[in-house]
Structure 1
Amino acid sequence: MSKVKYYYDSENLAYRKIKTRKRRKLGVIILFLLASALFGFLSFIVLLNTPYFETPKDRLQAREIENLRLNYALLNKKMDQVNDVIEAIEDRDNNLYRVYFNKAAIPDSIRKAGLPGKNRYKVLEGYDNSQLVMNTTKRIDVLSKELAVQSKSLDVILKLADAKSDFLSAIPAIQPVRNENLKQMASGFGYRTDPFTKARKMHEGMDFTAKTGSPIYATGDGVVAKADNTASGFGNHIVIRHGFGYETLYAHLSKYKARAGQRVKRGDVIGYVGSTGRSEGPHLHYEVHKDKKVVNPLNFYYGNISAVEYVVIAQLANQENQSLD
C-alpha cells in the first residue's frame, strides 16, 4: 500500500493530504519504463561488444578461429621440416652431383625466388589473421618453386648419370683373356721384333698366349662392327665399336661366337683363341683404338686385375721381345 503524503497549510494552520493526479502518476510510470528499457538496451549492446559476454555462435567462431591458428602453426612446423630436407638435397645437388658432372651450382637467387606478381596476395588482406595466412601462403609458394627447380636439376643430373654410366660401360676396361687361361704375356705395345722379317717394327697391340679354344671376352659394351677374315694378317678377327671414340680389335681367332651387328656387354664371350692369319702360334692379338688412333691397351686394365697383377703384366708387356704376329 502506497504511503499517504501531507503538506502544511500555513494559512489555515493545518496539515492537508497531498492528492496526486492520475495522469501525472501514469506519465511517471511510463517515463520510468522507457528509461529502464533504454538503459537495458544500451547495456545489452555494451555487453555484446565485450569479451565477457559471448553468444553460442561467438563461442563456435572463436573455437574455429583457434583451430585455424593451430592448423596454420602445425602447417608451418611441417614446412620447416620440408625446408630442412630440401636444403639438404640442394646442398648435395650443388656440392656433390653438379661438381661430379662438372655443372655449375644453382644460386639461391634462382632456387628461393618467389613467384612473380606484387599483388599476388592482395586478396588475402583485410582479415583478422591476414598476416598469418599471407606468410604461410608465401612459404608454400617458395617451397613449391624450390621443388620445381630441384626436380628439373635432378632430371639434368639423371641424364648426365645415364650418359656417364654408358661411357663407363663402354671403356675397354678388362683383359680379353683371363689370367687362368694365359700361358704368358708374349708381347706388349711398342717396338718389337717381327717374327717373320726379324726387323724392329711397331707392335700396335698386346699378344696373349693361350691354348687354342680359350675364350675371348669383350672388354667393354659395344656393337660388333666386323667378324670376318678380310683384313690382311689378322686371320679371323672381330672389331667392336664401343662408342665415345673407342674401338677394340681381337685377331687370330679359331672361331667366332659373335656376329656383325650384335650388341655385346663387357665380359661376354665373343670368340676363341686360335692361330689364323699371320701368326707364330695360338694367341690373341688385341688392340685398343681411341678416336681412330691406336693406344696402349695396358692403360685400361683396371676392371678385373689387382694392382700386383697389373705390375707383373706391365713388366712383361714392356720387354722388347719378339711378337707373335
Structure 2
Amino acid sequence: MSKQKYRFNQEKLSYEVVRESLGKRIFKWFLFAAPSIVMGLVLAFFFSQRMATPKEAQLKRDLEAMSLRYAELNNNIATVHQALDAIEKRDKDLYRVALYADEFPEEFRQMGIGGSSKYDYLSSYSTGELMKESSQQMDLLEQRILGQSLSLRELQKLAKEKEKLLQCVPAIQPVRNVDLNRIVSGFGWRVDPIYKTSRMHTGVDFTADIGTDVYVTGDGVVEELENGSWGYGKCIVVNHGFGYKTRYAHLSAFKVKLGQKVKRGELIGLVGNTGKSTGPHLHYEVEMNGNKIDPINFFHSDLSPEEYEKLIEMSQQSYKAFD
C-alpha cells in the first residue's frame, strides 16, 4: 500500500490528506510502466525479424523457389526462340527458295501480341518483373510457333503440288532406245516430205517398226483419241495438268480409252504409219500453256548425259520430217 501524504493548511492551522487527481495517478503509472512497454516492443520487433514462424519460413522458401523457376523458364524460352530463329531462316532461305514460294508475311508471326500494359496486373506481386517477362516471352513464343506452323502448312501443300507436278511433267522418251531405228527429225523448221517446202515441225519424229510400244511420258488423263485419215492419223492427246499436254501421232493402235488416267511409262499405243506419214514412225509433241515447245528439252529422266547429248545432236542434224 502506498504511503499516505499530508499537507499543512495554514488557514486552518491543521494537516490535511493530500489527494492526487486521476490523471496524475495514470501519468505516474505510465512513467513507471513505460520502460517495460518499450522493452517489450523492442523484443517483439527483434524476434519478428530474427525468428520467423514456420509458415513464414515456408512462404519465404516457396518465393525463392518460384523466383528461381521463373528465371529458368525465361532461359528455356530464350533457347526455344533461338531454335525458332534457325527454323525460320531455313524456311526463308531454303524451303521457300526450293519450292519457288513467296516470302511468308512477317506480320503473321506477330499477330495478337499485346503491349506492355497487358501485363500491368502482375506488378503487384513480389516477383512481378520476372512474371511479366515470362508472360511476354511465352505469348511471343506462342505466336511465332503459330506463324511457323502456318508457313510449314503452306510449304507442305506446295511440296505435294510440286511432287505431283514432277510426276506429271513429260520427262521420258515415248519410245525406248532399244526400239528406235533413229531420230529422223527434231523440232524446228524442216522440209515437208510431201510438199517439199520449209515449214515448222512442232515435234520430234522417232522411227521404229510398226507395232513398237509407245509409252506416256508423264501422269495424266487421255483427253483425245483421234482416228484421222490424214494429218496426225491415229493420235492420242494426254492432258498432264499444270498446262502440259502431249501428242502421240501416226499410231497403228490405241491401248487406252478416252478419259483414262495414265501413269508415266504406261503403254498407251503402238507405232504406225497412219495419216500424213511417209514411213513408220511416232510423231511426238509437247505443249505448254497452249504453245508447242521442243520435246527434246524434257528427255532427262531416262537418259544418261551422254545419251542426251547424242539425242540432241541427232535431232539437229536432220532437216527432213516424216510427216
Q: TM-score range by the shorter chain?
A: 0.7 to 0.9
Q: Which amino acid in 2 is paired with 1:39?
A: M
Give, in angstroms, the shift of residue 45 of structure 1: 3.3
With over 3 angstroms needed to count, the CA separation of the structure-2 counterparts of 1:130 and 1:114, relative to structure 1, is farther
Q: Does 1:44 align with 2:44?
A: yes
Q: Is the 8 A contact 1:191 1:203 kept in 2?
A: yes
Describe how 1:109-258 pairs up with structure 2 within 5 A. 111=109, 115-230=113-228, 232-258=230-256
With over 3 angstroms needed to count, the CA separation of the structure-2 counterparts of 1:228 and 1:114, relative to structure 1, is closer
| Counterpart in the other structure of 1:323 | 321
RMSD, aligned α-carbons: 2.9
Tell me, which stretches of 5 or more residues in structure 1 are unaligned? 1-30
Q: 1:184-209 CA deviation, whole Å, 9 max, x = no partner?
A: 11222223343444444332211112
| Counterpart in the other structure of 2:285 | 287
| Counterpart in the other structure of 1:15 | none
TM-score, normalised by the number of residues in structure 1: 0.80
Residue 75 of structure 2, aligned match among 55, 74, 77: 77
Taking the aligned partners of 1:169 and 1:106, their CA distance within structure 2 comes to 30
Q: Is the 8 A contact 1:253 1:275 kept in 2?
A: yes
Residue 278 of structure 1, aligned match among 245, 251, 276: 276
Give, in angstroms, the shift of residue 37 of structure 1: 6.9
Q: 1:228-263 CA deviation, whole Å, 9 max, x = no partner?
A: 314733222110112233211001223222221122
Q: Which amino acid in 2 is paired with 1:67?
A: A
Give, in angstroms, the shift of residue 125 of structure 1: 1.1
Give, in angstroms, the shift of residue 140 of structure 1: 0.5
Does the residue aligned with 1:125 lie in a helix, a strand or coil? Answer: helix
Does the residue aligned with 1:294 lie in a helix, a strand or coil? Answer: strand
Identical aligned residues as a percent:
41
| Counterpart in the other structure of 2:86 | 88
With over 3 angstroms needed to count, the CA separation of the structure-2 counterparts of 1:231 and 1:90, relative to structure 1, is farther
Taking the aligned partners of 2:261 and 2:310, their CA distance within structure 1 comes to 32
Q: Which amino acid in 1 is paired with 2:89?
A: D
Describe how 1:91-106 pairs up with structure 2 within 5 A. 91-100=89-98, 101-104=100-103, 106=105
| Counterpart in the other structure of 2:18 | none
Does the residue aligned with 2:131 lie in a helix, a strand or coil? Answer: helix
Q: Is the 8 A contact 2:71 2:130 kept in 1?
A: no
Q: Is the 8 A contact 1:114 1:138 kept in 2?
A: no
Give, in angstroms, the shift of residue 34 of structure 1: 8.7
Further displaced range: 206-215 or 95-104: 95-104
Q: Which amino acid in 1 is paired with 2:154?
A: V
Give, in angstroms, the shift of residue 57 of structure 1: 0.7
The number of residues matched between the two structures is 295
Give, in angstroms, the shift of residue 273 of structure 1: 2.0
Q: 1:163-191 CA deviation, whole Å, 9 max, x = no partner?
A: 43343333222211121221211222223
Q: Which amino acid in 1 is paired with 2:190?
A: R
Q: Is the 8 A contact 2:229 2:275 kept in 1?
A: no
Q: Is the 8 A contact 1:226 1:239 kept in 2?
A: yes
Taking the aligned partners of 1:122 and 1:248, their CA distance within structure 2 comes to 67
Taking the aligned partners of 1:142 and 1:76, their CA distance within structure 2 comes to 12
Q: 1:214-236 CA deviation, whole Å, 9 max, x = no partner?
A: 32221122221012314733222
User: Which stretches of structure 1, 4 residues or longer, exceed 6 Å deviation after superposition?
Assistant: 31-34
Taking the aligned partners of 1:62 and 1:232, their CA distance within structure 2 comes to 98
Q: Is the 8 A contact 1:192 1:201 kept in 2?
A: yes
